[in-house]
Amino acid sequence: MTLSSGMQHRSPDRVAVTGRILEGYPKEQRYTLAMLQDIQKEFQFIPRESMELIADHLELPLGKIYSLATFYKALSLQPKGKHVIKICDGTACHIRSSQMLANELYTLLKIRPGETTGDGQFSVELVNCLGACAIAPVVVIDETFYGKVTPAKLQEIIAQYGDAPEQSERSGGVAHD
Amino acid sequence: MKIVIDGKVCEAERGEYLLTVARREGIRIPTLCHNDALPGLASCRLCIVEVVEKGWHKVVTSCVYPVSAEIEVFTASEKILRMRKTLIMLLAARAPENETIGKLMQEYGLEKPDRFKKENSSDCILCGLCASACEKIGAGAISTVHRGVTKKIATPFDDPAADCIGCAACASICPTGAIKVQDKSGTRQIWNKAFELLICPDCGKPVVTREQAEYLRKQMQGNPIEYSGDGTVRCERCKKAAAADRFRTAFL
């Protein structure tokens, strides 16, 4: 379709990085979600220019991409923190006081679920069942699962990430699937 | 094959949708999101009917249920009426002020629901018919955005739609009249955007938007009959009159 409006604020970096991601995929609509996932991983959110580039690349209307990007919880239109803390609020975790963990995180980081710290280090999300009910309550930071978490333990866990703010978000991962 | 709908024996082809068969036989099944040009949404759920196949009863949405066996269908059984009433109440909770929904409530003897108060009531029932129409036309300017309680029909980022051609197909297809389009002094307002309306050179009536005319021209390449040679667009009436004139001069 036609080139989309709002291009005046395009960041050259984002355009270049997005372009490289798109090059890795055939020009087919079915790869849209995979492209968006890569972009989310790269920028911790989906920049507008990336969506416009996908639309142009696949010759789809921007609305199609926007619809997809706003539908999935794994994709965010707001920049997420470097480390994404997911508190499971499934039934088992909820009963085992996941809410207390959210409160503890508020004391530690001064952010509520859905928010990001001012320094861009942490985001907190309240998510649905992660399928690890046996070790409830569960907290997942980036791709690492922490089970039977208590408020005291949570403080220790966060400290690991807080002490090394320069660390890449992927280096802490042990539970890749 | 033969199927029985509400006691009436109907001829149906294999794979034909139940709603199509019923309508052809003059049996009324209420729908909101169904349009013959854009079938297959099945999002309003109003067209549910009870299908009996080999003694088994099941509830299906008739607009997407292909006939594949000799079935018996009930479009207004006690169960269906009960379920349909619930569906109408849910739609009414979403769009309490809407006229179309109001008529349905009246027809089914329902009172306005006082549960599920919505702060910002709208006329939109989120069936998605407008978005399908927009996509089918080729513009794809609007789509469903977000999901769950925040789901809505919108342009990307709620901006004036870059891809919109101002054809207002979305507004004209909307079953509940939820999309606002305003034509005033040569300008059309829709989706936060203003479009210039082209005037018929013969009668002065506004015909289509400039963007729409350009889009059509691009799509209809090699089919100049739709347009008068000078780049203007005639209204349907004057186009017919002009064609009749051409015919007259050519043959008389």
Q: For B46-57, how does the pLDDT look when each residue is reduced to its tens digit (9 = 90+)?
A: 999 999 999 999
CATH of region B2-107: 3.10.20.740
The count of C-alpha atoms lying within 13 angstroms of the C-alpha of B249, restricted to the half-sphere facing its C-beta, is 5
Assign B218 to helix, strand or coil. helix
Please check whether residue A118 is in contact with residue A165, taking contact to mean a CB–CB distance below 8 angstroms.
no
Assign A95 to helix, strand or coil. helix
- The C-alpha of B211 sits at a distance from chain A's nearest C-alpha, in angstroms, of 12
Domain A7-71 has CATH 1.10.10: yes
Task: Give span(s): CATH 3.40.30.10, chain A.
Answer: 83-162
Task: Give span(s): CATH 1.10.10, chain A.
Answer: 7-71
Whose CA is closest to B120, among B160, B80, B164, B150? Answer: B150
Q: Counting Cβ atoms within 10 Å, is residue B84 exposed (0-12), middle (13-18) or buried (19+)?
A: buried
**Does the pLDDT of residue B4 top 80, yes or no?**
yes
Q: Do A70 and B146 touch (CB under 8 A)?
A: yes
CATH of region A83-162: 3.40.30.10
The pLDDT, as a whole number, for residue B203 is 87
Task: Give span(s): CATH 3.10.20.740, chain B.
Answer: 2-107
Beta carbon pairs, A and B, within 8 Å: 53
The pLDDT, as a whole number, for residue A168 is 38
- The C-alpha of A58 sits at a distance from chain B's nearest C-alpha, in angstroms, of 13
User: Does A2 contact chain B (CB < 8 Å)?
Assistant: yes
pLDDT 10s digits, A46-99? 999 999 999 999 999 999 999 999 999 889 998 888 899 999 999 999 999 999
**Does the pLDDT of residue A172 top 70, yes or no?**
no
Q: Do A4 and B160 touch (CB under 8 A)?
A: no
pTM of the model: 0.80
Q: Cα angle at B83 between B78 and B85, to 5 degrees?
A: 95
- The C-alpha of B17 sits at a distance from chain A's nearest C-alpha, in angstroms, of 28
Give the per-residue SS3 of B83-147. HHHHHHHHHHHHCCCCHHHHHHHHHCCCCCCCCCCCCCCCCCCCCCHHHHHHHHHCCCCCEEECC
Q: In this structure, is the dihedral angle defined by the CA atoms of residues B147, B132, B27 and B68, taken in order, positive or negative?
A: negative
Query: Which residue bears the tokens 């009910």?
Result: A133
Look up residue A51 and give its two tokens. Answer: 């969506």
Nearest to A67 among B139, B143, B162 (CB): B143
